[in-house]
Chain A
Amino acid sequence: MNGSVIGRGTVVRGNVRGTGSLEIFGRVEGDVSVSGELVLGEESAVKGSVSGSHITVSGAVQGDVRGSEAVLLERGARVVGDLTAPRIGVATGALVKGLVRTDGEPALGAPRRAATGGARPMAFPARPAAPAPKPAERAEPREESESDAPPPMKEPKAAREAPPPPVVPALAKGAKAKKKKRED
């Protein structure tokens, strides 16, 4: 048995990481990262990012939660931070404040976030009239992508759509000729 428990009467100030499963019923002020199952019990409180394979939250988390398999928020869970996992479940009575994303393997967070942040200012001034299709366009490549490679791809695409259609000559066909005739 390789299970670890941080009991109800225990406070950890620092980072917790390792292999195997972990159950937290106490308090942790620091990041928690395990390769196995992670259970955050009803009266648990974690101030820091949390990652594991299958994460069940019934307590409070102030930080991002990343599950390589699933993240389940039970009734009474309170999460202030982003949720990322291929499968996410939120029960009635659970509170979330943050970005919720059903994604594949959570890649490196920082570069991806920077990429989307870069794409936004590009996209919005280009087509301010139609903001609705934008999220879909952005979401699609993100789901397919494992890394942050696609975002730079879609930036030029957005830019290409952005400019108005090629300028058609203002004068109608034959107008010049008519003008000439008139002058004559």
Chain B
Amino acid sequence: MAGTVIGEGLSIEGDVSSEEEVVVQGNLRGKLTTTDAVSVGSSAVIEADVSAQSLTIAGQVTGDVTAAERVDLQAGGRLIGDVKASRLTIADGASFKGNVDMDV
């Protein structure tokens, strides 16, 4: 089980910094930083810059996204913001508006 779960119905306004996996299914406004993975569930609405080891997006993210490893934008996911990661996948059916920097 993930270390931190922001469940559906929960909303956080402020900075979240963590050293463990973070699963977001609720609302987050502010900033999210973790040294582990971040998973953004389909019911999640995030208005924050996100920085993580790896990032999976199935919900809505508005903000710049940085991953040390990879970013996966899944079908139904919606990302408005710049991506900085060495690997990026965008699934068919995902929405994305922003710049990509793959560090080449």
Q: Do A and B come from one complex?
A: yes
- Residue contact A4 to B5, C-beta cutoff 8 Å: yes
- Residue contact A9 to B14, C-beta cutoff 8 Å: no
Q: What is the interface of chain B mostly: helix, strand, loop, or mixed?
A: strand
Tell me whether A113 is interfacial, beta carbon within 8 Å. no
User: In which size bucket is the chain A interface?
Assistant: 20 to 34
Tell me whether B6 is interfacial, beta carbon within 8 Å. yes
Q: How far is the CA of A19 from the CA of B15 in the complex (A)?
A: 20
Binds B, one of A10-18, A86-94, A123-131, A150-158: A10-18
Q: What is the interface of chain A mostly: helix, strand, loop, or mixed?
A: strand
Tell me whether A41 is interfacial, beta carbon within 8 Å. no
- Residue contact B14 to A19, C-beta cutoff 8 Å: no
- Residue contact B14 to A10, C-beta cutoff 8 Å: no
Query: Which of these, A4, A10, A20, A30, contacts B18 with CB under 8 Å?
Result: A10
Q: Which residue of A lies closest to B30 (CB)?
A: A14
Tell me whether B20 is interfacial, beta carbon within 8 Å. yes
Q: Which residues of B contact A (CB under 8 A)?
A: 1-20, 22, 26-27, 30, 34
Q: Which residues of A contact B (CB under 8 A)?
A: 1-20, 22, 26, 30, 34
Given contacts A5-B2, A10-B16, A13-B14, 12 further A-B contacts (CB under 8 A): A2-B8, A4-B7, A5-B5, A9-B19, A10-B20, A13-B16, A14-B12, A14-B14, A15-B12, A18-B11, A20-B9, A30-B14
